[in-house]
């Protein structure tokens, strides 16, 4: 992932403008995407996008999520973490979100950046996982020094996974300080055996003269850890620097030390030559994506390189081109194996950015699927998904998710759009949560398996309308659509109650549901539920008399 110059100071994320060209959409295509209100695109000069507000949760300002669907589009909940570009306006903070098909929030995290928000399985149960912590790396490539939070389906903490063996140096050009935990921002994958695969960075002294850098230089070692979630034991550790004989420095496409803003001169300006941005299990080893190597690399269970598929020259493979479709890729994200027959073949998906700031939007980004013949060491392009009506050039970030029924979801990372393709690779859904280059989401998913009953109670609040009526607003952050479909309201004309009878029933109308209180109501309470069954009650609150 490359983020706009971004530095976390305490809990507040500061961002700075830079002259680096960010991702771009096809500039000559001025059509709104999709159904964007005219006002939406006229704010290109200032970081701005429409957001929603709620009476019951005044701190929540989730973006308007615009969704255009064709028949056959998948159902489910969108899960993503909008990160505004620079500067961050206080009313549009970074956040983690689950939203429904109408763009209503289902769950809104506390404000602040959550990386890699995802629904995963742990011990046979669905859990919500995300990264939080400090972000460093300054101008060129962001990396994190943080922890992975694992929540159960009531949003209670199961585990706060940390990594700190005392050897880490942040290599953070903005803050050279120790962090409590050094899990990086790019990966947090729970395996079927109950372990967590994460990435980490360590600023490491290295002789960079072979690539034109200083003899007493520094680089960012790109590390992979697999942590047993029951014991915290490290099951696997891999260091790119310990494999420089297999993956030499001159394979890096990252700006070389002498041409880079982060130039390898010292511990706080290390050269980020490798950058692992995804790791998944493959057979009894792993497959990683190195953004700066333009490579998908298979490791065996000892961490030895089994093969290196390079997006420029093939590496250990020939990029055959029988289908006439290019197999080249670069700056890619989310390299994920599909079918694998060990030692014979593997099919992989990736989000092929094919761009970095200095590529000036040369190659469109695609969802690339490659068939790797491991015996003959050849590669064939199975498909290269792109929306023909909205070509994107995505410098950083992105996800390629497989959905049921051979549907595919491309989350365009730095371009705040999601595109769903059906089994014939036709576009059946487009969604947008902001203006290009003003907000991004590193990874985004559409999930059908998140059912959650929050451990906290619903919230209610009243508003005195000018008409004299009192509006009751009700919400239950985090409760999924299967958990409640309506509200039961209990009113009393006596501030001391009792609240025993249901006075009104109203159906759920999104994140926040409104009702008009009966005249004279002085005490009110509401319960979220299904049918006649109350699932959870709010506190009871007093209704202020209108000031006359």
Q: Please provide residue 39's backbone torsions phi and psi, each rounded to the nearest 5 degrees.
A: -65, -25
How far is CA 74 from each of CA 268, 297, 349, 416, 421, rounded to the nearest angstrom?
46, 32, 20, 19, 9
- Burial (CB count within 10 angstroms: exposed 0-12, middle 13-18, buried 19+), residue 112: middle
- Nearest C-alpha neighbor of 204 from the set 185, 177, 223, 187: 223
Q: How far apart are CA 462 and CA 128, in angstroms?
A: 32
Binding string to ligand NAG for residues 36 to 55, with x set by CB under 6 A, is what?
A: -x-x---------------x
Q: Which bin fits 124, alpha (ψ -120 to 50), beta or left (φ > 0)?
A: left
Which of 375, 496, 500, 533 is in the footprint of ligand NAG by CB under 6 A? 375
Alpha-carbon torsion (271, 274, 276, 277), positive or negative: positive
- What CA–CA distances, in Å, run from 473 to 96, 259, 302, 462, 541? 23, 56, 57, 6, 12
Query: Which residue among 11, 121, 167, 207 contacts ligand NAG (CB under 6 A)?
Result: 207
Q: Out of 321, 342, 451, 539, which residue is the one contacting ligand NAG (CB under 6 A)?
A: 321
Q: Is 308 in the site for ligand NAG (CB under 6 A)?
A: no
Largest CA distance in the chain: 85
Minimum distance, C-beta of residue 300 to ligand NAG, in the bound complex (Å): 7
Residue 33 beta carbon to ligand NAG: minimum distance, rounded to whole angstroms: 11
Q: Which of 358, 406, 481, 544 binds ligand NAG (CB under 6 A)?
A: 358
The single residue among 191, 326, 347, 503 that binds ligand NAG, judged by CB under 6 A, is 326
Kindly compute the dihedral angle of the four CA atoms of residues 533, 538, 541, 543, in this order, to the nearest 10 degrees.
-60
Interface pick for ligand NAG out of 373, 447, 486, 541 (rule CB under 6 A):
373
Residue of the chain from 12, 110, 210, 457 that contacts ligand NAG (CB under 6 A): 210
Shorter beta-carbon distance to ligand NAG: residue 214 or 281: 214
d(CA 140, CA 118): 26
| Token couple for 227 | 């942590």
At closest approach, how far in Å is the CB of 517 from ligand NAG? Answer: 9
Q: Counting contacts by CB under 6 A, is residue 495 touching ligand NAG?
A: no
Site for ligand NAG in 177-206 (CB under 6 A): 180-181
For the CB of residue 327, give the shortest distance to ligand NAG in the complex, in Å: 5
Q: Which residue reads 């507000």 in tokens?
A: 53
| 379-418 binders of ligand NAG (CB under 6 A) | 391
CB of 324 to ligand NAG, least distance (A): 5
Interaction between residue 359 and ligand NAG (CB under 6 A): yes
β-partners of residue 310 are 295, 314
Check if the beta carbon of residue 142 is closer than 8 Å to that of residue 6.
yes
Close Cβ partners of 322 (under 8 Å, ≥ 6 residues apart): 380
Residue 357 CB, shortest distance to ligand NAG, in Å, is 9
Instruction: Tell the smallest beta-carbon distance from residue 138 to ligand NAG (Å).
Output: 11
CA dihedral (441, 442, 448, 453) in degrees, to 10, reads -70
344 binds ligand NAG (CB under 6 A): yes
Asked if 492 and 504 count as a contact pair (C-beta separation under 8 A), the reply is: no
From the CB of 163, what's the least distance to ligand NAG, in Å?
Answer: 8
Among 116, 328, 332, 475, which residue sits at the site for ligand NAG (rule: CB under 6 A)? 328
| Residues 424-483 contacting ligand NAG, CB under 6 A | 463, 465, 467-469, 471, 473
Applying CB under 6 A, which of residues 14, 20, 26, 112 lies at the interface with ligand NAG?
Answer: 26
| Helical (H) or strand (E) element with 487 | strand 486-492
Output the smallest distance, CB 74 to ligand NAG, in A.
Answer: 26
- Interface stretch with ligand NAG, choices 248-256, 322-330, 476-484, 491-499 (CB under 6 A): 322-330
Q: Which of 68, 24, 99 lies closest to 430, judged by CA?
A: 68
Q: Does 343 bind ligand NAG (CB under 6 A)?
A: no
The reply to whether 376 sits near ligand NAG by the rule CB under 6 A is: yes
According to the binding rule CB under 6 A, does residue 160 interact with ligand NAG? Answer: yes
Q: CA distances (Å), 391 to each of 169, 386, 395, 438, 511, in order? A: 40, 7, 13, 18, 33
What SS3 string covers 34-57?
Answer: CCCCHHHHCCCCCCCCCECCCCCC
147 binds ligand NAG (CB under 6 A): yes
Per rule CB under 6 A, is residue 154 in the interface with ligand NAG?
A: no
By the rule CB under 6 A, 68 interacts with ligand NAG:
no
Residue 235 burial (10 A CB sphere; 0-12, 13-18, 19+)? middle
Q: Residue 12 or residue 210: which is nearer to ligand NAG going by CB? A: 210
Residues 6 or more apart whose CB falls under 8 angstroms from that of 12 comprise none
Between 270 and 398, name the residue whose CB sits nearer to ligand NAG: 270
Minimum distance of ligand NAG from residue 405's CB (angstroms)? 27
Angle at 220 between CA 205 and CA 167, to 5 degrees: 65
Instruction: Tell the smallest beta-carbon distance from residue 490 to ligand NAG (Å).
Output: 17
| Cβ-based nearer residue to ligand NAG, 91 or 215 | 215
Binding test (CB under 6 A) with ligand NAG, winner from 70, 234, 258, 360: 360
Q: Give the 3-state secondary structure of residue 257.
A: helix
User: What separation, in Å, do the N-terminal and C-terminal C-alpha atoms of the chain show?
Assistant: 57
Instruction: Give, as ranges, the residues between 253 and 272 that touch ligand NAG (CB under 6 A).
Output: 263, 265-266, 268-269
Per CB under 6 A, residues contacting ligand NAG are 26, 28-29, 37, 39, 55, 147, 157, 160-162, 180-181, 207, 209-210, 215, 231-232, 263, 265-266, 268-269, 302, 304, 319, 321, 324, 326-328, 344-345, 358-360, 362, 373, 375-376, 391, 463, 465, 467-469, 471, 473, 514, 516
């Amino acid at each position: 992932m490359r983020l706009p110059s971004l530095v976390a100071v305490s809990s507040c994320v500061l961002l700075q403008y830079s002259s680096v060209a960010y991702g771009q959409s096809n500039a000559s295509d001025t059509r709104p995407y999709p159904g964007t209100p005219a006002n939406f695109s006229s704010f290109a000069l200032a970081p701005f996008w429409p957001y929603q507000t709620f009476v019951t949760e005044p701190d929540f300002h989730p973006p308007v999520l615009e969704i255009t669907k064709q028949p056959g589009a998948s159902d489910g909940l969108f899960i993503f973490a909008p990160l505004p570009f620079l500067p961050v306006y206080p009313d549009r903070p970074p956040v983690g979100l689950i939203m429904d098909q109408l763009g209503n929030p289902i769950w809104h995290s506390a404000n602040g950046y959550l990386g890699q928000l995802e629904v995963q399985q742990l011990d046979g149960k669905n859990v919500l996982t995300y990264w939080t912590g400090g972000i460093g790396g300054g101008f060129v490539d962001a990396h994190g020094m943080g922890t992975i939070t694992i929540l159960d389906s009531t949003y209670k903490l199961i585990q706060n996974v940390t990594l700190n063996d005392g050897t880490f140096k942040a290599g953070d050009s903005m803050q050279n300080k120790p962090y409590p935990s050094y899990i990086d921002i790019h990966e947090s994958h729970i395996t079927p055996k109950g372990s967590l695969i994460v990435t980490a960075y360590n600023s490491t002294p290295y002789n960079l003269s072979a690539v034109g850098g200083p003899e007493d230089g520094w680089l960012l070692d790109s590390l992979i850890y697999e942590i047993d979630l029951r014991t915290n034991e490290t099951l696997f550790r891999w260091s790119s620097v310990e494999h420089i004989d297999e993956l030499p420095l001159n394979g890096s496409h990252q700006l070389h030390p002498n041409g880079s803003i982060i130039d390898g001169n010292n511990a706080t300006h290390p050269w980020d030559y490798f950058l692992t941005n995804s790791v998944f299990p493959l057979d009894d080893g792993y497959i990683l994506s190195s953004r700066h190597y333009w490579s998908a690399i298979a490791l065996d269970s000892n961490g030895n390189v089994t093969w290196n598929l390079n997006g420029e020259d093939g590496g250990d493979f020939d990029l055959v081109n029988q289908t006439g479709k290019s197999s080249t890729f670069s700056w890619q994200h989310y390299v994920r194996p599909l079918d694998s027959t060990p030692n014979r073949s593997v099919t992989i998906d990736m989000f092929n950015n094919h761009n970095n700031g200095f590529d000036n939007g040369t190659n469109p980004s695609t969802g690339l699927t490659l068939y790797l013949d491991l015996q003959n060491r050849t590669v064939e392009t199975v498909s290269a998904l792109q929306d023909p009506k909205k070509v994107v050039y995505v410098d950083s970030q992105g996800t390629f998710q497989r959905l049921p029924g051979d549907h595919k979801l491309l989350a365009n990372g730095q371009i705040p759009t999601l595109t769903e393709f059906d089994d014939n690779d036709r576009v059946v859904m487009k969604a947008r949560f902001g203006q290009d280059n003003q907000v991004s989401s590193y990874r985004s998913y559409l999930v059908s398996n998140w059912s959650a009953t929050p451990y906290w109670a619903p919230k209610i609040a009243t508003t005195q309308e000018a008409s004299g009526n009192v509006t009751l607003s009700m919400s239950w952050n985090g409760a999924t659509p299967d958990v409640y479909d309506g509200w039961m309201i209990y009113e009393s004309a006596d501030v001391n109650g009792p609240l025993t009878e249901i006075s009104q029933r109203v159906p759920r109308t999104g994140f926040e549901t409104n009702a008009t209180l009966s005249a004279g109501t002085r005490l009110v309470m509401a319960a979220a539920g299904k049918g006649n069954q109350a699932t959870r009650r709010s506190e009871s609150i007093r209704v202020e008399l209108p000031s006359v």
